[in-house]
Structure 1
C-alpha cells in the first residue's frame, strides 16, 4: 500500500515541488542548510579525483554555507553549487537533481524529508526498494533515531 503512494508520479512531483520551494526560500532568506543525497545521483564538473570520492558514503551530506551557498542555484530541477573538496580544496560544480535530495537540514534538524520514490526506480528495483531507500535516508541522520518506536 505505502509503495503505491511513495512511487506515485503525482506524489513524486509534489515532493519535488516542495523540495524546490524550500530551497528557494532558504536561498532568498540567506539561511545556510545541508542536503542529504544519494551520491550516485550527484554530478561533479570537473570530476573529482578518486582520492576524494573514495571517502564518500552512498548517502552523503553537503553543507551549503559561505561561497558554496552564494553560488547555489536551481535550474531545470537541478540544484547546482560550487564546492571545494579534500585538503587541496579541489573545486567542482556540484549538480544534484531535486528528486535526489532525500533531506534538507538546518542546524542538524531535518526540516524536509523526501519520501517519494521516482517511478523509474520502482520499475528497476524490487518492490520494497522505495521503503528501504526512504528509511535509509531517514536513518542516515542520527537525530531521526528518536522518531522510531522501539
Structure 2
C-alpha cells in the first residue's frame, strides 16, 4: 500500500520540494548539517576512483561542514551540489545529489528529515550503460569480465 504512494512521480516531486525548503532554511540560518543519500543517483565530477567509490555504501553519510558547507548550493530546486574530499588522499570532487535521493537530513546526531523516496529504485537508478561502465571500471571486477 505504501508503494502506491511513494512510487508516484507527484509524491517524489512533493518530497523534493520539502527537502529543498528544509535545506534552504538550514542555509539561511547558517546551520551545518549532514545527509545520507542514495549513491546510485549521485554524480561526482570528476568521477571518484573505483578504489574509493567501491568503499562507499549505497546510503553513505556526507558531512556538510567547514569548507564543504561553504560550497553547498541547490541547482534548479532539484539538485544539491557541494564539493568534498574522499578517501585518505582527500580526492576532490563536486557532488550532485538529486533532492529526492536524500534519505536523511541530520543535525548533530539527530535526524531532522527522513525520506522514503530515496529507497525507490525506479527514481534512483542510473541507466544501465553507466552502471555497466562503473562495474567495468572497478579493478575487482576485471576477472569477472575476462
TM-score category of the 2 structures, normalised to the smaller one: 0.7 to 0.9
Instruction: State the SS of the aligned residue for 2:116.
Output: coil
Verify the 8 A CA contact 2:103 2:118 in the aligned structure 1. Answer: no
Deviation at 1:118, TM superposition (A): 9.0
1:7 touches 1:118 (CA, 8 Å); kept in 2? no
1:24 aligns with 2:24: yes
Normalising by structure 1, we get a TM-score of 0.75
Q: Tell me the equivalent position of 2:104.
A: 103
Alpha-carbon distance, 1:59 to partner: 1.1
Please state how far the C-alpha of 1:88 moved relative to its aligned partner. 1.7
Structure 1 residue 84: Cα displacement: 0.8
Checking the alignment, whether the CA contact within 8 Å between 1:8 and 1:119 is kept in structure 2 is: no
Contact 2:103 2:119 in 1 (8 A): no
Gaps of 5+ in 1: 125-150
CA distance in 2, matches of 1:8, 1:54: 31
- The alpha-carbon deviation at position 75 of structure 1 amounts to 0.5
Asked if 2 retains the 8 angstrom alpha-carbon contact of 1:80 and 1:94, the reply is: yes
For the residue of structure 2 that corresponds to 1:81, the secondary structure is strand
Q: CA deviation at 1:119?
A: 8.2
- How many Å apart are 1:86 and its aligned residue? 1.4
Q: Partners in 1 of 2:120 and 2:50 — Cα distance?
A: 31
Partners in 2 of 1:97 and 1:88 — Cα distance? 26
Closer, same or farther: CA 117–68 of 1 in aligned 2, 3 Å? closer
| Structure 1 equivalent of residue 94 of structure 2 | 93
Whether contact under 8 Å (1:9, 1:118) holds in the other structure is: no
Structure 2 runs not aligned, ≥5 long:
126-146
How far apart are the structure 2 equivalents of 1:48 and 1:105?
24
User: What TM-score do the two structures reach when normalised by structure 2?
Assistant: 0.77
